[in-house]
Structure formats: C-alpha cells, structure tokens
Chains A and B, each alone.
Chain A
Amino acid sequence: MGRRVAIVGAGQTYHKSARKDVNGQELIHEAVSRALEDAELAIEEIDGVVIGNMDHFEGINYVDCWSIDGSGGYLKPVIKLCTGGTTGTTLAIGGYHMVASGMFDRLLVIGWEKNSESDTTGAIVTATDPILDRGVMAGALAGLAIEASEYAAAYGATPRDAARVSVRDRRHACNNPYAHLRKEVTIEEVLSSPPISDPLRLLDMCPRTDGACAVVYASEEVAEKICPRPAWVVATANRHSYSRFADVMGQTGMLSLTVAAKELWRKTGIREPLKEIDVVELYQPYSWAGLIWIEDLGFCKKGEGPKLIWDGVTDMGGECPFNPSGGVLSSNPIGATGLIRCAEIAHQIQGKAGARQVPDVQLGLATGFGGCWWSDLILFSKKKPA
C-alpha cells in the first residue's frame, strides 16, 4: 500500500486583477517562497516540482520548463499537469499520488495564472471543438448561464437566492488578506449589477485574477518530523464525464460532481456530509453553483440548496461554513484556484487561517471545477488516516 501523505505548508500571492509588478516567474516565486517559509523548508530540501496553469492564458508553451526560474526546479524533477479549470485540484491530487508512491518525500506543487496577460475569452474559446462549437460561440459564461436557467426552471430558485451566495462569499473575503475582491456586496447590488447572460449578472460571477499558490506535500515520515499539525489527505475522487460540450445531456445539476461525490463518500464512509464535514472550500465560479452544487455534493436534497443558504448554515459561524476564504467569487487565478482551495483547507486544519479560521476543524473538503463540466474532490483531515 502507498504511504500516507500530508500538506505541511502552503503559500499564495496577494491576488489582483493585474499584478503588473511581477512577471510570471516572479509571481510563482512569491507563492513558492511563502509556502517554503510556512513549511519551514529550504528549496534544497524539495525533491520535485509539479506545476500547472492553462497554457493559452499566458501563451507560453512548455511551462514546466519555462517556470524553473520561479519554481526553484533547477536540476530537479519537474512535471506539468493541466486539466483546464480543475488544474489546481488536479495538481493537488497529482501531488498526493506522487508522494504516496514513494517517488518523492517533499514535493512542491504550484498552480498559477496571469490572466491579465491575455484575452481570457480568446483563450477559453479554444477549449471548444474547432469543428462543432467554435463557429457558434457565446463566450465562456454562456455555459454557466445555461446551467442556472435549467436549475431555475426545475426548482424555482431565483436570482435572489443566488445573490445571497455572492453576499456570503464577498463578506467572507473581507477576512482574507490575499483575496482579490475584498469589498462586501448587498443583495440589491447583485440584482442590479449589469446583466451578462441571463440569468447571470456581473456580481454573480468570479473575477479574472493574477495569482499563484504553492503547497508542500510530505510523506508520512517526513511530515510527522517537520510539521506540528499536518493536513492529511484522506481520499480523492474525480470525474471528467464530458468529452464534448455537445454531450451535456441536459440533466439538471453537475453530473461529474454528483458521481465523484458518491465515490468519495463511499470510500470514506461518510453518510451525512453536512454533519460530518467541518468546512468546505467549494470551487464555485458563479453564485448559482453555490445552490446547485451543494445539492450535487449531497449536503442537502435536490432543490433545497436555497434553504440551506438562507438559513445561514454555510456562513461563518454556521454548521458548515463554505468558502471562508471568500472563494472563487473573490479570487480566480484559474490555474491556482483549485490549489488555493486545498491550501485554505490545509490552513484551516492547521489552525493557521487567521481571521477566517473555522473553530476546531477535523475534516475539510476542497473541490475543483473545470469549464468542461469536470469535478475533482479532495478530503483532508487533522487526524492521520488509518
């Protein structure tokens, strides 16, 4: 059997819409320095680097090679993983396997994106099939708008319900010094913000952000030696159910998330996620996902998402806070976004989350989402898994 693995340190940059003060390698270096400091390790002690971003956003080919100056990967094993929006969590899952395999003892995992350096829409368009979809485009957000409209038609949820999610996350972000957007919004402000793609408005959506995140994974033996409270990886599950946008069959909700969640709960023996999980960092690129995907995850029944939100269950101080960091609605450096979810959960478990700390976290869930309707899940715990 493989070894147990934990996150022993994490760091991220101060996320902004344009980090003009640094180039890509310097952005990466900022996150790496913070992660090493947090883990109390020197770069010489790192025995491998795993890195990811979405190529076309920066227009750089062979990023694993290009990033050496910032990642510290000089004369070390360096490998790149990329699965679109899920890249950050894909990296987190990859880091786990590579250490659990025995191939690495102290692995540096980096996710980053410098969205300001490109035309985001232009880059996202090439995610679509060149023969079928590119000639009939409606931009990156139409797909999400479509999911929301389907959900609203099925369960009667309203833009007001979704707006409550934005209000929650933007309020949470005020506790997070690294967040890109750190200003609260009200329901009315969300409902009157400029319409993008029905039913979505500007304040339902995540921003475009420059940022990087780095996390240090250690094997069991090393983790226990160097880290007072490692954040242990309990289990992971993922699904990339669709090979083409055209295959989305029109089910309400996120198929890949529903299936991956079922696998995760089965593997870990968790029956009532809402009761048993202490905190969730949900990769939630837009407000409605905060209603739909908590149902798909099994935190409540289908159609009951809004009630959970309005009851304050997912607010700080609630039974199971979601996105204490402010989530993706507050910062979205795409290649890093999924990894930030993991870094945040790790710090929650380690008690290092400062003003956004949820008390006494035993189990924390990080999720990843990709624009091709993909889902990744990782469960972390304070207690070392059996």
Chain B
Amino acid sequence: MTEKKDHEAELLTVHSRTDVEQVYRYSAGRYLSRFLVELRDHARIVGVKCPKCGTVYVPPKQVCDPCYVEMTEPVEVSKEGTIRNFTILRAAFVDPETGETRPVPYAFGNVQLDGAGSLLQNYIVADDESKIRVGARVRLEFRQERTGNIRDIKCFRLLE
C-alpha cells in the first residue's frame, strides 16, 4: 500500500503478520521508504551518511546513535561486499511470517557492502558451502519482480 504526498518521496506501508489474525501496518518512514523504493525501482542500495563521524548506515535511519545527530545525506553503496560473520542453519524452524520451513542447511550472515559502515543481513548462497568464510566476497542478487520489500533482495551470492 502506498501513498503519494505532492512532490515528496513515496511512502510505503509494510504488512507484517505476527500471527494469523494480527496484522500490523507499519509505516516505513521517510528513510526506509526511500531505501525500499530505490530497491524496488532500480535495484540500488542507498544508505545515509552521518555528518559527524562519516559512518554510512545501510539500511538508512534518521539518527546516528553514537553521535546523536540527524543524517540526511543519501549515499549509494556497492552491491558487492565482504562477509563479516555468518552461520549455517542446520535445524529447521517455522518462519512465523510465512508459516513455512526454509529447507536446511542454509547460510545466513552479515555483509559489509563496499562503501557501507554498518552490516546488512541476508541469506548467503553458494554452490560450495565450505567456501563461505568470514572475509569472503559476495554480491547481492535481486528478484525480478520487486515490490518495495526487503525480500526484493533474494540473497548474497558468494563470488567464487
């Protein structure tokens, strides 16, 4: 569901189920809306930079916590990055969002995209699981059909 306000950026509302009956409608806010719109329309990753410490936050947010200043400068970061940490899930659990179980094993981790200071989390996909290491290089893979949701990112694919 979206709402346009004059010449302002498109604002999104994201639906998230906590259980079958209870649906909340979360406002993404200006920062995350812009991030999700860039993701949806251009398959681009746009973060925000702190004017004081220079940290680039991906995904973006309004306030840099340590500096306690508002961040307004958008910064596009690379779609490639480095694995900072990861794990491989071997015990399946039911995803409460979808009611499904993702087949195990699968890898999951935090990646620092080139140009970003914070880490982005997502699934990590590789042909050879043993090649997934801290420090390995990955590239973002996007879905063909994107709707302005974090799931528009399919995964990080290991660059062999």
Q: A residues within 8 Å of B by Cβ?
A: 56, 119, 121-122, 125-126, 130-139, 142, 145-150, 153, 194-200, 202, 241-250
Docked Cα-Cα span, A244 to B120, in Å, equals 11
Partner of B97 from the list A56, A125, A149, A242 (CB cut-off 8 Å) is A125
**Complex contact B91–A194 (CB within 8 A):** yes
Give, as a whole number of angstroms, the nearest-CB distance from B32 to chain A.
5
Residues of B within 8 A of A248 (CB): 110, 118-119
Q: Which residues of A contact B118 (CB under 8 A)?
A: 246-249
| Nearest CB of B to A247, in Å | 6
| Residues of chain B within 8 A of A131, CB atoms compared | 14, 16, 26, 28, 32, 36, 150
Given A134-B97, A138-B87, 18 extra CB contacts under 8 A: A56-B18, A121-B96, A136-B150, A137-B95, A142-B108, A146-B87, A150-B134, A153-B134, A195-B91, A197-B88, A197-B90, A200-B87, A243-B65, A244-B61, A246-B120, A247-B57, A247-B118, A249-B117
Which A-chain residue is minimally distant from B32 (CB atoms)? A131
From A130, A149, A195, A197, B14 is in contact (CB under 8 Å) with A130
Q: Is the CB of B87 within 8 A of A149?
A: yes
For A195, what are the chain B residues with a Cβ–Cβ distance below 8 Å?
90-91
Q: CA A208 – CA B109 in complex, angstroms?
A: 25
A47 nearest CB across to chain B (Å): 37
A196, B121: Cβ atoms under 8 Å?
Answer: no
CB of A284, distance to nearest CB on chain B (Å): 18
Whole-angstrom CA separation of A291 from B50 in the bound complex: 34
| Contact for A147 among B85, B93, B149, CB less than 8 A | B85
Known interface pairs A246-B118, A249-B118, A250-B110; A126-B18 also in contact (CB < 8 Å): yes
Contact of A130 with B26 in the complex, beta carbons under 8 Å: yes
- Cβ–Cβ < 8 Å partners of B134 in chain A: 149-150, 153
Judge whether B84 is part of the interface by a CB distance below 8 angstroms. yes
Whole-angstrom distance from the CB of A364 to the nearest CB of chain B?
32
CB contact under 8 A between A136 and B123, given known A131-B150, A250-B85? yes
Closest 8 CB pairs of A and B: A145-B87, A138-B108, A250-B84, A198-B88, A122-B96, A195-B90, A130-B16, A150-B85
Nearest CB to that of B13 among chain A residues? A131
| Among B14, B24, B153: residue with most chain A CB under 10 A | B14
Interface centre among A56, A242, A248 (most CB of B within 10 A): A248
Q: Which residue of A lies closest to B96 (CB)?
A: A122
With a cutoff of 8 Å between Cβ atoms, the chain B residues found around residue A196 in the complex are: 89-91
**Residue numbers in A under 8 Å from B133 (CB-CB):** 153
Chain B, range 70-87, C-beta contacts under 8 Å to A: 84-87
Interface centre among B65, B87, B96, B150 (most CB of A within 10 A): B87
